[in-house]
Amino acid sequence: MGLKPIRKAAGRTLVSEIRGRFLTSLGQQALLAEAEIASEGMTEEAGGENPVYHGSTLVTVVLDGDNLAPLVAILGDAGLVAAARRSIGLHVRLIRLARVEVERRTAPLMPRDMRVEVEFSVEARRLLMDIGVECPLAGPAEQALDGAGEER
């Protein structure tokens, strides 16, 4: 039986390429370590129904920082936007960040089924990642119950 030799794990990289470039976990961490975060939003009361939260979380990263120089050198500004759009892990991190902001702004109510939209752009040497959020909110009594009145 011919066993193949054990392959050593590849070194830690900022960018990976499988059907296009995307950010690795290390690249995502480098990007978000330099981020500034701003949120805005409001809760609308829907006549007799649960309130609905509408908001936006803007994550801004200045691309001229020393920590991002290797990433920008590899991809360039346009390539960084394209890689960020393809990076599912980055999307997940951004959505989690937006959810934390929603929870902070709407306590003691809790967000239910969130609808999100993530947009990426570069303006004046800054990467802008805008996470738009819309979600109904559940009161404390509803948090443990689903629509049928059964515990989750």
Domain 15-138 in CATH 1.20.1380: no
Check residue 94 and give its pLDDT.
97
Q: What is the pLDDT of residues 69-84, one digit of tens each?
A: 888 888 888 888 899 9
What is the pLDDT, as a whole number, of residue 72?
Answer: 86
Output b/e per residue, 18-55; b: 16+ Cβ within 10 A.
Answer: eeebbbbeebbebbbebeebebebeeeeeeeeebbbeb
Tokens at 141, concatenated: 């009594």
User: Which two structure tokens, joined as six digits, stand for 2?
Assistant: 């011919």
Tally: H helices and E strands in the chain:
3, 7
Per-domain residue ranges of the chain:
15-138
Q: Is 151 helix (H, G, I), strand (E, B) or coil?
A: strand
pTM reported for the whole predicted model: 0.77
Q: How many CA atoms lie less than 13 Å away from 144 in the CB half-sphere?
A: 3
- pLDDT (tens digit per residue) in 30-59: 899 989 999 999 999 877 678 999 999 999
* DSSP run (H or E) holding 43: strand 35-44
- Provide the pLDDT for residue 22: 81
Q: On the CB side of 151, how many CA atoms lie within 13 Å of its CA? A: 0
Bridge partners for 132 per DSSP: 56, 117
